[in-house]
Amino acid sequence: MIDFTSTNIRLWSRLGSCGAFGQAALSLPETKEKTVILTADVCNFSGLDRFRASYPDRVYNVGIAEQNMIGIAAGMAREGFTPFATTYAAFATMRCADQIKLCMGYMNLPVKLVGLSAGFSVGILGPTHMSLEDVAFMRALPNVVILSPADCTATVKAALAAAQLAAPVYLRLTGSMNNPIIYKEDFEFEVGKAIELRAGDDIAIIATGSMVLHALKAAELLEQEGLFAEVLDMHTVTPLDMEAVEKACAKNLIVTVEEHSVIGGMGGAVAEALALKPSRPPHLLLGARGAYPHAGDYPFLLEYSGLTAPQIAGRIFETYKELF
Amino acid sequence: MNTKEMRIDILRMALAAKSQGAHLGGSLSMVEIMAALYGSVMKLDPGNMENKYRDRLVISKGHGVMAQYVALKQLGLLTEEQLLTYKSNNTAVNAHPSVNAALGIEFAGGSLGQGLSLGVGLALALRCKGNAASRVFVVLGDGECDEGSVWEAAMSASHYALNNIVTIVDRNGLQYDGPTEDILALADLEAKWKSFGWNAVTVNGHDVDALVNALSARPGRPLAIVAETVKGKGVSFMEHAAQWHNGVVTQRIFDQAMAELEAES
Q: Enumerate the domain spans of chain A.
A: 6-172, 195-323
| Region A171-182 average pLDDT | 93
Mean pLDDT, rounded, for B61-78: 98
Q: Tell me, what's the pLDDT at A27?
A: 92
CA distance linking residue B82 with residue B65, whole number of Å: 14
Average model confidence (pLDDT) across chain B: 97
Average pLDDT score over residue span A64-70:
98
C-beta neighbour count of B248 within 10 angstroms = 15
Q: Looking at chain B from residue 51 to 90, which residues have their Cβ under 8 Å from any Cβ of chain A?
A: none
What is the CB neighbour count within 10 angstroms for residue A223?
A: 15
Confidence of residue A33 (pLDDT cuts 50, 70, 90): confident
Report how far residue A311's alpha carbon sits from residue B17's, in angstroms, rounded to the nearest whole number.
Answer: 61
Helix H or strand E segment including A237:
strand A236-238
Which tens digits make up the pLDDT trace of A246-285? 999 999 999 999 999 999 999 999 999 999 999 999 999 9
Which residue in B has a C-alpha nearest to residue A74's C-alpha?
Answer: B118
Q: Any residues with CB less than 8 A from the CB of A87 and at least 6 apart, and which?
A: A39, A40, A41, A42, A46, A66, A69, A114, A115, A116
CATH classification number, A195-323, choose in 3.30.1490.20, 3.40.50.920, 3.40.630.30, 3.50.50.60: 3.40.50.920
CATH fold of the domain at B3-263? Rossmann fold (3.40.50)
Query: Which residues in chain A have Cβ-Cβ distances shorter than 8 Å to B125?
Result: 75-76, 78-81
Asked whether residue B265 carries a pLDDT value surpassing 90, the answer given is no
Task: Give residue A12's pLDDT band: very low, low, confident or very high (50, 70, 90).
Answer: very high
Residue A176: per-residue pLDDT: 82
Interface test with B, best of A62, A68, A107, A109 (most B CBs within 10 A): A68
Instruction: Tell me what pLDDT residue B198 has.
Output: 98
Q: Give how far the C-alpha of residue B135 lies from the chain's centroid of Cα atoms, to the nearest Å.
A: 16
Same fold, A6-172 and A195-323: yes
Residue B260 contacts residue B233 (beta carbons within 8 Å): no
Does residue A177 surpass a pLDDT of 90?
no
Give the pLDDT confidence score for residue B218 in this predicted structure.
Answer: 96
Residues 6+ apart with CB under 8 A from A314: none
A44 has pLDDT over 90:
no
Interface touch B153/A71, C-beta < 8 Å: yes
pLDDT over 80 at A112, yes or no: yes
* Domain residue spans of chain B: 3-263
- Summarised one tens digit per residue, pLDDT across range B90-141 is 999 999 999 999 999 999 999 999 999 999 999 999 999 999 999 999 999 9
| Rounded Cα gap, residues A186 and A171, in angstroms | 19
What ipTM did this prediction achieve?
A: 0.97
Q: Which residues of B touch A57 (CB under 8 A)?
A: 128
pLDDT of residue A108: 98
Q: Are A169 and A85 in contact (CB under 8 A)?
A: no
The long-range contacts involving B16-19, CB below 8 angstroms and separated by at least 24 positions, are B16/B83, B16/B84, B16/B85, B16/B86, B16/B87, B16/B88, B17/B86, B17/B87, B17/B249, B18/B248, B19/B248
Interchain proximity A102–B114, CB inside 8 Å:
yes
**Up-side HSE of residue B82: CA atoms within 13 Å toward CB?**
14
Write down the pTM of the prediction.
Answer: 0.97
Span B141-147, mean pLDDT? 98
Nearest CB to A76; choose among B116, B121, B153: B121
Mean pLDDT, residues B171-179 taken together: 96
Check CB contact of A184 with chain B, cutoff 8 Å.
no
pLDDT at B220: 96
A-chain residue closest to B115, CA distance: A71
- Tell me the C-alpha to C-alpha distance, in Å, between residue B125 and each of A8, A224, B52, B78: 33, 58, 12, 29
Closest Cα in chain B, distance from residue A167 (Å): 16
CATH 3.40.50.10470 for the A6-172 domain, yes or no: no
The 10 Å Cβ neighbour count of residue A33 is: 9
| pLDDT band at residue A31 under the 50/70/90 scheme | confident
Q: What is the per-residue pLDDT for A1?
A: 81
Sign of CA dihedral A10, A14, A18, A19: negative
Contact by Cβ (8 Å): B59, B104: no
Q: How confident is the model at residue A110 (pLDDT cuts 50, 70, 90)?
A: very high
Mind listing the pLDDT tens digit for each residue in B209-232?
999 999 999 999 999 999 999 999
DSSP per-residue letters across B153-213: HHHHHHHTT-SSEEEEEEE-SEETTEEHHHHS----HHHHHHHTT-EEEEEETT-HHHHHH
User: 85-104 in B: which are within 8 Å (CB) of A?
Assistant: 99
Angle between helices B148-159 and A66-78 (to 10 degrees): 60
- Collapsed DSSP state (helix, strand, coil) of residue B30: coil
B19-46: pLDDT as tens digits = 999 999 999 999 999 999 999 999 999 9
Q: Are A18 and A47 a contacting pair, CB within 8 Å?
A: yes
Residue pLDDT, tens place only, A240-255: 999 999 999 999 999 9
Give mean pLDDT, residues A89-112: 98
pLDDT tens sequence across B245-262: 999 999 999 999 999 999
| pLDDT for A180 | 95
Partner B contacted by A324 (CB < 8 A): no
Residue A26 CA: distances (Å) to CA of A49, A52, A187: 10, 9, 20
The set of catalytic residues of A is: 66
- pLDDT-based confidence at residue A169 (cuts at 50, 70, 90): very high
Of A74, A80, A106, the CB nearest to B118: A74
pLDDT at A32: 86
Q: Mean pLDDT across the stretch A301-311? A: 97
Whether residue A321 lies within 8 A of chain B, CB to CB, comes out as no
Percent of chain B with pLDDT over 90: 99
A289 touching B, CB under 8 A?
A: no
In A, minimum Cα distance to B119 occurs at: A75
Distances (CA, A) of A228 to A220, A317, B28, B39: 8, 11, 70, 73
**Per-residue model confidence (pLDDT) at position A45:** 83
